[in-house]
């Protein structure tokens, strides 16, 4: 007997429905394998299931055992019987995700849960969400709320875009003029606390410091790091701006290396994102310092100079134990092979690259676009598309929220929900278990229960637009991407 349990993401493995029901307990006695940390496990059970819990071997109604046959650290087995519940996992991560699944069953079935056996593991191991806090500052408490939602739908990476032309959001000791208190900036302690909060929910926070382009906010504070010397004002809205870091000046290179070092000390993740997208190189062409550097290094053109700069920063990051991620705008075979490329531009052929790839295609993952440009069903099928292609270089996938015109919690929510949840399922659930109609049905019935109170959800009638309107809007947007890419000197396929 099979039944569609109300779960998001839907389990990747087998679901077996068993006889009887599991009654909600008022408290749990947990029999725990000693290899697992008691404090963490009891914390998960109390926080997410909303019941008191204590460790005990006599008459346990929740047993948590190590499963040596599960090779994936995020995999788990969950079994509910009338007499109690059993979780099997290889790692604490698997226990955490089992508890998330159990939480949804508790919410969907307020009194008695149908007995069942679930086996589950993720399809993709990098399941990320990018939050742009540079264009529009996002308060710490709001980021915590977003982290809670990401954890509940088994997203395991928060990519935090903390610098751009329009803002610099982390206060650093090395260069205190970066960012402004009045426009929003995180202290180092706030960052440490956010990272710890995310880690407790099995989410890795990866910072992005965009360079050498999208750098106006830094140049406004330190104009001597530019090719022209400024002055600069921090712009509003979107755009590709001409002034970038001057890589011909030794002090500019020392500046970014010092910044990378301090940022790396705040984020324990083994990755750091350095942007590397949409970089107009005209200033370097006219800059005596950049031309002197190019000549001294025997480089053929400004793109070769950009490649040299990115490889230099990659080696510096590696000395700090960090692997660099760059957008795929300019990446070629001469870039350091350890760089992970993030593929966003739909006009570039990513299949030619030998670098590990995080897929975040513009027309499948950019949640800042409205639903006429990015319907719910398009987001949902992206994970299946990636799994079907079976690209050996696939590192993972990522959903994106740029915030040039998204400033409030309500605006963020309406762009995110339910598309963020759909994307999360498409990344976690193996392609054989993908079912768009099932997802729409479950979210329609239980979405509000699964999300925090007062979450704004886009009305169902807007989830998918008229096909013809969508095609026309996407055609116009593709032309815009092509125009901006040419402006930034990106060689299109």
Active-site residue identified among 74, 79, 278, 425: 278
Local structure of 73: helix, strand or coil = coil
CA–CA dist 160, 251 (Å, integer): 26
How is residue 170 annotated by DSSP?
Answer: B
Q: How far apart are the first and last CA of the chain?
A: 50
CA–CA dist 372, 467 (Å, integer): 9
Q: What are phi and psi of 334, to 5 degrees?
A: -95, -5
Other CB atoms within 10 A of residue 374 CB: 24
Say whether 278 is catalytic. Answer: yes
CA–CA dist 235, 114 (Å, integer): 56
Q: Are 215 and 208 in contact (CB under 8 A)?
A: no
Residue labelled with tokens 């569609």: 4
Residue 70's nearest CA partner among 98, 91, 44 is: 91
Residue labelled with tokens 């660099």: 324
Local structure of 168: helix, strand or coil = strand
The verdict on whether omega for the bond into residue 75 sits within 30 degrees of 0, i.e. cis, is no
CA atoms within 13 A on the CB side of 411: 12
| Inter-helix orientation angle 288-296/302-319, to 10° | 80
Torsion of CA 467, 469, 470, 473, to 10 degrees: 160
Sheet with 84-89, side-by-side order of all strands: 15-23, 112-120, 76-81, 84-89, 62-66, 27-32, 52-55
Other CB atoms within 10 A of residue 293 CB: 21
The verdict on whether omega for the bond into residue 231 sits within 30 degrees of 0, i.e. cis, is yes
| Inter-helix orientation angle 92-108/436-450, to 10° | 80
CA–CA dist 8, 417 (Å, integer): 13
CA–CA dist 345, 356 (Å, integer): 16
Q: Are 48 and 35 in contact (CB under 8 A)?
A: no
Residue 361's nearest CA partner among 310, 304, 426 is: 426
Q: Are 365 and 349 in contact (CB under 8 A)?
A: no
Which residues contact residue 34 at a Cβ distance below 8 angstroms, ignoring those fewer than 6 apart?
none
**Based on the number of CB atoms within 10 Å of its own CB, is 236 exposed (0-12), middle (13-18) or buried (19 or more)?**
exposed
CA–CA dist 18, 39 (Å, integer): 31
Q: Catalogue the active-site residues.
A: 278
């Amino acid at each position: 007997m099979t039944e569609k349990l109300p779960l998001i993401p839907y389990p990747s493995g087998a679901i077996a429905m068993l006889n009887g029901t599991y009654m909600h307990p008022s408290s749990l006695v947990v029999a725990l394998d000693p290899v697992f940390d008691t404090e963490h496990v009891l914390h998960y059970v109390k926080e997410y299931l909303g019941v008191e819990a204590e460790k005990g071997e006599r008459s346990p109604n929740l047993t948590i055992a190590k499963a040596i046959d599960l090779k994936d650290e995020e995999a788990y087995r969950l079994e509910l019987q009338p007499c109690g519940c059993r979780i099997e996992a290889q790692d604490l991560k698997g226990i955490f995700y089992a508890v998330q699944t159990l939480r949804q069953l508790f919410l969907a079935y307020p009194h008695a849960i149908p007995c069942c056996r679930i086996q589950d593991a993720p399809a993709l191991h990098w399941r990320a969400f990018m939050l742009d806090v540079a264009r529009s500052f996002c308060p710490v408490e709001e980021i915590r709320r977003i982290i809670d939602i990401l954890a509940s739908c088994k997203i395991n990476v928060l990519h935090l875009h903390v610098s751009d032309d329009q803002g610099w959001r982390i206060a650093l000791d090395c260069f205190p003029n970066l960012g402004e208190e009045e426009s929003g900036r995180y202290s180092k302690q706030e960052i440490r606390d956010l990272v710890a909060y995310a880690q407790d929910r099995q989410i890795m926070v990866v910072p992005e410091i965009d360079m050498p382009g999208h750098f106006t906010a830094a140049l406004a504070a330190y104009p001597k790091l530019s090719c022209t010397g400024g002055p600069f004002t921090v712009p509003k809205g979107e755009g590709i701006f001409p002034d970038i870091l001057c890589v011909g000046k030794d002090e500019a290179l020392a500046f970014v290396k010092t910044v990378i070092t301090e940022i790396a000390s705040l984020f324990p993740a083994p990755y750091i994102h350095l942007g590397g997208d949409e970089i107009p190189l005209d200033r370097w062409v006219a800059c005596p310092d950049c031309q002197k550097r190019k000549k001294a290094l025997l480089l053929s053109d400004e793109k070769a100079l950009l490649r040299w700069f990115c490889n230099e920063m990659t080696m510096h990051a590696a000395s700090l134990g960090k692997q660099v991620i760059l957008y795929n705008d300019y990446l070629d075979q001469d870039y350091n092979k350890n760089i992970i490329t993030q593929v966003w531009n739909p006009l570039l052929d990513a299949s030619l690259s030998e670098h590990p790839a995080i897929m975040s295609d513009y027309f499948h993952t950019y949640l800042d676009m409205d639903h006429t440009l990015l319907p719910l069903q398009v987001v949902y099928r992206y994970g299946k598309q990636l799994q079907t292609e079976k690209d050996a270089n696939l590192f993972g996938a990522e959903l994106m929220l740029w915030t040039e015109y998204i400033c409030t919690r309500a605006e963020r929510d309406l762009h995110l929900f339910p598309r963020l949840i759909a994307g999360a399922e498409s990344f976690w659930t193996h392609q054989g278990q993908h079912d768009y109609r099932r997802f729409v049905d479950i979210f329609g019935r239980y979405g509000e229960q699964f999300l925090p109170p007062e979450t704004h959800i886009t009305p169902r009638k807007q989830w998918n637009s008229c096909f013809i309107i969508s095609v026309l809007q996407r055609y116009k947007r593709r032309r815009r991407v092509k125009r901006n890419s040419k402006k930034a000197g990106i060689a299109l396929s």
